[in-house]
Amino acid sequence: APAVFTEAEVYQQNFDPRAYLEEFYSLKQGRLEALVEQNLRSLFKMFSLEELKGDTLIDVGCGPTIYQVLSACERFQEIIALDYTDRNRQELEKWLKNEAGAFDWRPVVKYVCELEGDREKWAEKEEKLRKKVRQVLKCDVTKANPTDPVSLLPADCVLSTLCLEAASKDLPTFRSALRNVAGLVKPGGHLVMVTVLGDTYYAFNNQVFSCLRLERSEVEEAVEAAGFDLKFSEVQSCLPGDVRQDCEAVLSLVARRRAALT
């Protein structure tokens, strides 16, 4: 485990989006990583819940990835993607604009299409997603308004995968980041999270990034304390023996933001 917390500026300088994608989201011997498939199944399950639909969805800490919005894009009309680093946002834009050299998400898109019942509609889904992502903006989850100086209208849904545990140096910071993220959700709107549990680091490209070691109850309590009611929560274990990270399990949850107290 790294001795020091990975500050956001270290992400800005050292997080190589291309290396991250190759390490965790590319095919290995013709297969996706078991963890990726598991997360795609959880996201499919959560975005099949009746109440998870609406106009706008904000993806917080999107990184250079799109897998997390593949099921979501069937249920929301507009998507806004946020991340701290310039290079992650550029890598995402490259795929959105279908530019040469963009990462090949087809195996992942096909996997999700198969979950949804028709593997053959992958090209249609890619086109749909490219149309629905309307903005890609900078954000810092440690700020009260994460998109400051831009103020976004609160969304029907906020999604965040594998971000807050990377962006928070301790539990109080994690809880405060969740309160900041809560401000992006309408009262009555939903939060969808995928968070690793028991993890202290992840590594790729000979670089180590710190991760806040969390327990299920700590995440669930932080979500409730940030003004949400838990609607769905599921823990799935990680395969042991992965040298690239030490995660024990993955928590997937859906929570609904309570109406503001008057």
Return binding residues for S-adenosyl-L-methionine: 20, 25, 67, 83, 88, 140-141
Regarding 68 and contact with ligand SAH (CB under 6 A), the answer is: yes
Distance CA 215, CA 194 (A): 13
Q: Which of 2, 5, 8, 102 binds ligand SAH (CB under 6 A)?
A: 8
Closest approach of Cβ 59 to ligand SAH, in Å? 7
Nearest-angstrom CA–CA distance, 157 and 58: 6
Ramachandran angles phi, psi of 92, nearest 5° = -65, -45
CB of 200 to ligand SAH, least distance (A): 15
**How do 249-257 and 133-138 pair as beta strands?**
unpaired
Backbone angles phi, psi at 14, to 5 degrees: -115, -15
Q: What is the DSSP letter of 121?
A: G
- Per-residue mark of binding to ligand SAH, 9-48 (x: CB under 6 A): --x---x---------------------------------
83 close to 61: Cβ distance less than 8 angstroms: yes
Q: What is the largest CA-CA distance in the chain?
A: 56
* Contact between 69 and 161 (Cβ < 8 Å): no
Which neighbouring-strand residues pair with 59? Answer: 81, 159
The amino acid sitting at 111 is Y
Alpha carbon 84 to its chain's center: 13
- Minimum CB separation of residue 163 from ligand SAH in Å reads 4
Show the binding pattern over residues 122-161: x = contacts ligand SAH (CB under 6 A), - = does not: -----------------xxxx------------------x
95 is a contact residue toward ligand SAH (CB under 6 A): no
Looking at the Cβ atoms of 121 and 140, the one nearer to ligand SAH is 140
252 lies in the site for ligand SAH, by CB under 6 A: no
Among 96, 112, 167, 238, binds ligand SAH (CB under 6 A): 167
Q: What angle do CA 216, 220, 224 make, to 5 degrees?
A: 170
Report if residue 84 touches ligand SAH, rule: CB under 6 A: yes
Q: Is residue 210 within the footprint of ligand SAH (CB under 6 A)? A: no
Q: Which residue is nearest to ligand SAH (CB)?
A: 63
Residue 86 is given by DSSP the state H
Of the candidate residues 42, 88, 180, 245, the single one contacting ligand SAH (CB under 6 A): 88
Residues within the interface to ligand SAH (CB under 6 A): 8, 11, 15, 61-63, 65, 68, 83-85, 88, 139-142, 161-163, 166-167
